[in-house]
Structure 1
Amino acid sequence: MEENQIQARLRHVAGIILIAVLLLLAVGIGVAAFLVNSMVEVTNSQMRAETEEYKSRLNKQISSDFQILTTMSSFLEFSDVEQADNFARILDESSLRNDFVTMAYFPVDNTGIVAILGDPVRTSVQVTDMQPEVQDVVYRTWNGETVLSYLFESELTREKIFVYGIPVEKNGQVVGSLIASDQLEIFSDILSGDTVLGGNGHIHMINTEGRFLIRSQNAIVQEDIETIFEGPYFSDEEAERVQAALAAQETIYTSFRYKGHSYQALLQPVGINNWYMLCVNSMQESSGIYRIVMVIAVTFAGALLLMVILLTYGYRLTRHSNQELHAMAFQDPLTGGDNLRSFMLRLTETMPQSGDVNVVALNVHQFKFINEIFGRERADRLLCHIHQQLSGHLLPEEFCCRDNADRFFAVLRGTDAGQVAERLNQIVEEICRTALVNHSSDYRVMMYCGMLSAAECAAAPQDINGAMTRALFALERAKNANLSTVWIYDAELHKKEEIDNYVQSHMHQALQDREFCMYLQPKIDLRTGRLGGAEALVRWLPGNGRMLYPDQFIPLFEANGFSVSLDLYMVDCACRQLRAWMDQGIEPVPLSVNQSKLLFFEADYIPKLQQIIQQYNIPAHWITLEILEGLALENAEELNARIEQLRKIGFHISMDDFGSGYSSLNTLSRLHIDELKLDRGFLMEVVNQGNIRSRIIMEQVVQMAKRLGICVVVEGVETQENEELIRTLGCDFGQGYYYSKPIDTDAFTARFWGADQGKQAEK
């Protein structure tokens, strides 16, 4: 390589390093400036908080003193004690107890009483005998004002004091002035503490001219000055700004220099007599900052040196490998487009910010056979064609990728799911129309798509993995259609399929773990109004605490045959509960248990039932087996034979949901059942729709059942009117939410036999 080329590259590298150094230097200066500003802001906040605290304490003290005078004023208002001889003594004692320097009472246009701390009480004192400052307070209170005077030097004590004054009224008229004076030390005690800013600050009190009213013992400026503007501490410009703020009673942050150091200060109005709090941060404003800046400088110097070394060493390697690494990380090697990782990153940036993102998954029908029949090369060309066509149909803000094999993902924009699906159909049709696996057109490529709509994406904009999963779920549903189609994700359908999957994968373990629980719904005897029985209903309580209801798992159990095991399990639960009641001396009621078609015709069905009742030593007549009338449509003779066997053992047989499907009055004459349960649809037609024909049919069914000696139970009783109707029709029992919803066995026992019996039965 020629020397000039080497020098050019070195200059190039040096330029990059110089730029990086300058950038780091700028960052360092910025960080230092930020830290300085942050510390100033923190100090200002602390001074503001401290000043507010001391203002509050001053105001509380003044309010407390005024409250004392107000209390005495109220006492004078509702009594004639000021006319009494001992009023002077009372005033003197009040002054002593409240640490006032003086207390005095001046009736309007009359002589007054003055109690001076440590001196005898003076009576018959003229207002004009008092200092002008005191006279001003008295006259103003006679005019109905509440007064707090300015600070002044007392002629009696030769100390700076201030005077409180409040008017004394009787019958709405001012009759006198009650005043009290206190020394300046009350403020000094409050302001001389060494806890300001954690011991690193102090507070003065000044007036609007900047004159010191109270100086902290810990003041930075030791010279004896009258105002804050004496001495070369403020610049002329800053002094003017502070004077303007004081005149306007505004809060102002400032700083001043003393012996070569800069200090921060806050001036805040007290709200009383134009007084100001002056809070000074006694720590040097720059002392800690310099150390911080030095640390930053050293840190950045080390970082700069390290950076020079690394840049010099790694520049060529980084530049050479960057593109290769990027391609490996984010590019699909077959199509040259984005891979799944790149797609996910773009989706992560796009989906949370947009409400019109639709996530689409695409696949080729039977792609493995295309690979097998036409070979890997042609199959790869097909994939490249699909990616090219898909990319060509995308709008500027849309993007796509190939995941693996023949699966693609894309993002389409639009808020109307139907319109987006229609557009996707057109894209797929165009891809399939132009996709020729071989040179003839005898093989038709078909694709199927799953789509997650923009509404679903917007519902969980941060759940990128969930969006991809749901799009794949929709893709799987589309696969079963066996034609080029688009399937839009259905959340409710997916939720149902999730539940179905959980049911079928956990049912055996749930039965083993006794997660199926028996709930009871009472049957009420319409003649007596008392409990006449109960129906055992199953609920599934998984370990996750979410209850599953029968309509979520019973249809699946009937389809896969698991209902056989569950029905026998429920008979076992019913017998166990009957045994528990009997062992506790509770007279039980019959329990009805549903029996499925599959179980009813099992060869060993009856022996298994006998084994259960023998295990718990339960008379069979306490168990009513409920069957559906549809069983009679297939082989009534065989069904009747099975019913007769069960009745001989002692079981009662009930026909459930009569009238819901294939009801026939002839069924009643063909089956030897003990109980007929009318479906709630009968009752609803009569009550809600006022169907006279339904009422007649219902009445005839009840009467026919009664003549055949069959007990009639009506389901779905929800109101008192429902109950009155079925009682009028001659029904025997009512069951429904009017009496009770299905409840667990403990609650059922406690409700119908008392809480104590319920606890015993539980044990």
Structure 2
Amino acid sequence: MDINMLQKRIHKLLIISVMMVLSILVMAFLFIDHGDDSLNHATYTTMNQEIDLCTQRISSQNHTDLVLLNTLAKSLSNSADIDSSLAEMEKENAFTSISYMDSQRGIYFANPSVHVEYNELSKVYKSKVDSAFLGKQSAFIQKQDVITKEFVITYIVPVYDSSKNVTGVLSATSSLRPYATLMKKSVYGGNLYITDLNDFYGIQKDKESKDVLAVLKGIDLSERINGLIGVNGEEHGIVVKEMGFDGWYLCYVNSAKSLNNPLYVMSRANNYVLMVFVVVVMILLWIAYMMMVKNNKEMENLAYKDQLTGAVSFTRFTKLVSMYAQRNVNYSLVSLNMRRFKFMNEILGRDKSDDFLCRVVTCIQSMLKKDEIICRDSADVFYLLLNDTNEDEVARRIYDMFTKIRQNTKDFRYEYEFCCGVASNIEDQEKYTFEQMLTNVMFALAQSKEASSENICFFDEEVHKKKEFENFIESNMQQALDSQCFEMVLQPKMNLQTNSVIAAEALVRWRLEDGTYLPPSSFVDIFEKNRFCSKLDFYMLKKAIQKIRKWIDMG
């Protein structure tokens, strides 16, 4: 598995981890949102129940007050002294003020010191009075009373004579306090207001009443609204419902924390636990991912780095050079070896030898250019990829490396020499694959080892072909001898005086499998070097004797 595959796996696992985290976050968000919706639904349900109860009690109180005022109106129709009757009514009832208006729009008050003309009344009051003269009773809230200067409820009922004709209108005002008492009994905490959607009269208030009221005055309320408002960073539910008086509403504001504290605490606890769980899962996923990256990094180092020197491993080197070659650029492949390194191990010890190899890599790495690579294959076998292809420049750089290594290893009391082979891939020559380049550089290294002193050998195609031919000869000579592929040909010797054949010279020819022949000049020199000539000589002598015997037998 190469580094690209490892990186792809890491990226794939990273994407999977991110998707898992996003999925967990989405599920957590949905769960929290569902929990908040459930809490809000429970809050709205409770608030609507409480405000419905409050509306019912207000309606009941309103009906009671109207019934009482109608009863007073009946008694007033039979009274001749209106002033005395009004004063008696105000003493015996909880109304804050009682007044009577006759058909001429004259107004009588229980308190004789109060004098109000019809024209001084508000338009709303006048319209209600006109309706009462038509036989319609009503109750409405006024923002201010001329006497008390506060919000009051005004009741108006018609007064009939014995003939069922409307002779006047009886009016009474009442403070909101009785209603406030009823409302306090109907709701649990929070802020309750009587409002015409512009002004607000608070019935029950909590510690945040000023802040709540400031928020309410800053928003556009509408009829029968259920919604949320933010007060000091906390969400509050708001319910607006018709009160039963024309143009007036009940506005109820309360928080889930106050209204459904156990459910609120449980919901928030669940949210916190869930968020902690999400954070823990994310941390665990991150730790797992980092451990995987670390393990892959360690595996990469084991697979792609030499554990002793830190140089690139041969496996990684082959991948990098192959990628480099695909870019169709010129480069040189260098094979570096040491003479007598195995004796260094024996003389200096394993630790010293390992230290020497590390110093070699350090010295060479410091002299490499961008994109150049050093690889340690095994023991003292090193490979280099260099950008230069000019033989003089490559040789100069390698000798400089040798010099630096020697300067950095003066404390090693051991004489050593380098063997170095170089193969270059350049434009005006045939492009080689990495495998071919590796074969070429090993061939050049072998030539360097044959030299008696430290030498850099460059791969030469002609020399290589010659060596290949020598290898072919040496690999097949014994088999050819055993198979009698060496054939004897006779070169006649003539007597020039008699012009007759007096003898023959026995010559050798090597017949190949394809029927062609190799001349002696192509293999005799090789046989002389490897001492195979003696075998061939005796073989040819035997062939010559057999030929002579055959001729004798033929007479």
Q: Same fold (TM over 0.5)?
A: no
Q: TM-score range by the shorter chain?
A: 0.3 to 0.5
Bigger relative contact order (CA 8 A; separation at least 6): 2
- TM-score between both structures, scaled by the size of structure 2: 0.44
Structure whose alpha-carbon radius of gyration is higher:
2
- TM-score between both structures, scaled by the size of structure 1: 0.33
